Amino acid sequence: MIFWEIAKRNIRVHFLRSALAMLGIVIGVVAIVSMGILGNAMVAMVSETISSVGDSVVVYPYFGSTGMGGGSTANLKITDQQFQQIKRVVAPNVAIPVQSTSERMKIGVGGDDIIASVYGVDPQYIPDLHFELESGSNNNANSGCMVGSTFAKDNNIKVGSRISIGSDGSRGTLRVTGIIKQRGMSFDISTDNAVVVTQSWFENTYDRNDYDNVVVKVKQGQDSAALTSLIEKQMNKRDKVVMAMDSKVVLGAINDMVGQVTTFVVAIGGISMIVAGFSIFNIMMMSVSERIKEIGIMRSIGTQKKEVMSMFVYEAVIIGVIGSAIGGVMSLLGGYVINIYMFNSTNYLFTIPNAISIAEGVTFGIVVCLACGIYPAWKAANMNPIDALRHE
């Protein structure tokens, strides 16, 4: 229709200012969408690393409120008796007692002392922890250990390497039997930068028979939240001795937090969209006031109000659609750059949440343009034709 044509031509005639207004929308869309993509990538990464180990409930000794005069948390352990109780409570789910400490150690001959975490886990439970090995095999000997991939890479450790534990190897030497694949922020045991030894080596070396925490692996189909409250209820009958944490709840909390951060940064991006909206409003008002006489002529020779209005709405929509579409494409590029820089991969780029983010950003851009074009268009349509005709 002719009004569409006029709207197009008016944008072409005022190319520079239309392009600048479009640029505003492009920036607005990019700001919103790339922040959304960033948030989506963070959520995806967090949930992938945490949920890869399956649902677990981790039971810690209760360390109370850490107020004035509070006891040292270092001495709080889960006793073997408590562990047996937990085991009974959570059956048929598997309860894995875990011991941990930090220790000085040395790799090879003449290396520097380094400090890393040491986990003591009974070999029978290793399969339940679902370690994926980069190389080597699970360790079930007291003279062996497994190490995390980051630890292995940083210290140039291969299967068969020897690690001297303690200052000057005072606690003995262990042979590496396997290297555990990167597990990221795993909820149960963070192995990436640690050494995993057998429970009996740990107990003999450190003269301990209590545990730092108990990892309960929740079987498929079991409710981890119910299990968590069951543990707390059964264990804390007389005194509060343990606390249980549900990986799902922690995951949910982390996702919530990431979600809130994402919402916040998207909202900041939204401000640029609002600013862009003002510039659209501005150029539409300009477009109307420059063409008051033209509007008067149109109205006097029989153009209906709604036709005048449509002409200006088209103008805003054209700017909005082109600007938002360019913004959508650019934010995909922006998302690509963010993903490459922050995560070194594009695994989190072509996902449904990102498609939704882009669709939302583009839609928002178009809606903002439309909303900012409506008042000027309405104003144009409702001008008194006589006054408009007389306007110079």
Partner 1 sequence: MDDQPVMLFRDVVKVYPLPAGDVTALDGVSFQVDRGEFISVMGPSGSGKSTLLNLMGCLDMPTSGDISIGGIHINEMSDTELTSLRRDRIGFIFQYFNLFPLLNIIENVTFPLMLKTGKGVDPERGKEVLRAVQLDDKLFTHTPTELSGGQQQRVAVARALINNPDILLCDEPTGNLDSKTGAGIMDLMTDLNRKGTTIIMVTHDPHIAEYSQRTIRIADGRIVS
User: Can you read off the two tokens belonging to residue 42?
Assistant: 């963070």
Query: Least distance from C-beta 298 to partner 1, angstroms?
Result: 8
**Could you give the C-alpha distances from 392 to 275, 294, 295, 312, 376, in angstroms and in order?**
31, 10, 12, 20, 19
- Comparing CB distances to partner 1, the nearer of 13 and 274 is 13
For partner 1, the binding residues in 324-363 under the rule CB under 8 A are none
**Measured from the CB atom, is 130 or 390 closer to partner 1?**
390
Residue 114 contacts partner 1 per CB under 8 A: no
Q: Which residue has the tokens 């439970």?
A: 125
Is residue 13 within the footprint of partner 1 (CB under 8 A)? yes
Shortest Cβ 5–partner 1 spacing (Å): 8
Q: How far apart (Å, rounded) are the C-alpha atoms in residues 37 and 42?
A: 9
Amino acid at 227: L
| Minimum distance of partner 1 from residue 383's CB (angstroms) | 12
Give 328 or 373: the residue with its C-beta nearer to partner 1.
Answer: 373
CB of 299 to partner 1, least distance (A): 7
Q: Which is nearer to partner 1, 2 or 109 (CB)?
A: 2
Work out how close the CB of 297 gets to partner 1 at its nearest, in angstroms, rounded to a whole number: 5
- Residue 9 binding partner 1, by CB under 8 A: yes
Which residues, other chains included, contact 319 with Cβ-Cβ below 8 Å and sequence gap of 6+?
11, 18, 21, 22, 25, 280, 283, 369
The CA distance from 282 to 18, in Å, is 11
Closer residue to partner 1 in complex, CB, 67/302: 302
Q: How far is the CB of 319 from partner 1 (least distance, A)?
A: 16
Selection from 222, 226, 266, 259 nearest residue 361 by Cα: 266
The smaller minimum CB distance to partner 1, of residues 105 and 381, is found at 381
Q: How far is the CB of 370 from partner 1 (least distance, A)?
A: 22
Q: Which of 10, 100, 224, 247 binds partner 1 (CB under 8 A)?
A: 10
Tokens of 10: 């008016």
The least distance separating partner 1 from the CB of residue 335, rounded to whole angstroms, comes to 39
| Phi, psi angle pair for 40, to nearest 5° | -60, -40
Q: Please, which residue, 6 or 121, has the CB nearer to partner 1?
A: 6
Residue listed under structure tokens 């190389």: 135
Q: Can you tell me which of 2, 16, 74, 109 binds partner 1, judged by CB under 8 A? A: 2
- Residue 247 has, within 13 A of its CA and on its CB side, a CA count of 23
The residue (of 298 and 318) whose beta carbon lies closer to partner 1 is 298
Q: Which of residues 359-388 bind partner 1 (CB under 8 A)?
A: 385-386
Least distance (Å) from partner 1 to the CB of residue 4?
Answer: 10
Q: Please give the distance of CA 187 from its chain centroid, rounded to a whole number.
A: 15
**Which backbone phi and psi does 69 adopt, to 5 degrees?**
75, 5
Look at residues 261, 317, 314, 328 and name the one whose alpha carbon lies nearest to residue 28: 328
Asked if residue 54 binds partner 1 (CB under 8 A), the reply is no
Size of the site for partner 1 (CB under 8 A): 22
Question: What's 77's DSSP letter?
Answer: -
Binding span for partner 1 by CB under 8 A among 9-17, 149-157, 171-179, 180-188: 9-17
> Near partner 1 by CB under 8 A, which window of 7-15, 55-63, 79-87, 180-188?
7-15
Phi, psi (rounded to 5 degrees) for 107: -105, 130
- The C-alpha atoms of residue 195 and residue 178 are separated, in whole angstroms, by 10
Q: Residues 253 to 312: which contact partner 1 by CB under 8 A? A: 293-294, 297-305, 307
Question: Which span sits near partner 1 by CB under 8 A: 4-12, 128-136, 143-151, 167-175?
Answer: 4-12
Burial class (CB in 10 A: 0-12, 13-18, 19+), 253: exposed
* Cβ contact 30:333 at 8 Å: no
Residue 47 carries which side chain, given as an amino acid letter? S
258 contact partners, CB below 8 Å, separation of at least 6: 39, 42, 43, 46
Nearer to partner 1, 18 or 247 (CB): 18
> Which is closer to partner 1, CB of 169 or CB of 385?
385
The site for partner 1 (CB under 8 A) is made up of 1-2, 5-6, 9-10, 13, 293-294, 297-305, 307, 385-386, 389
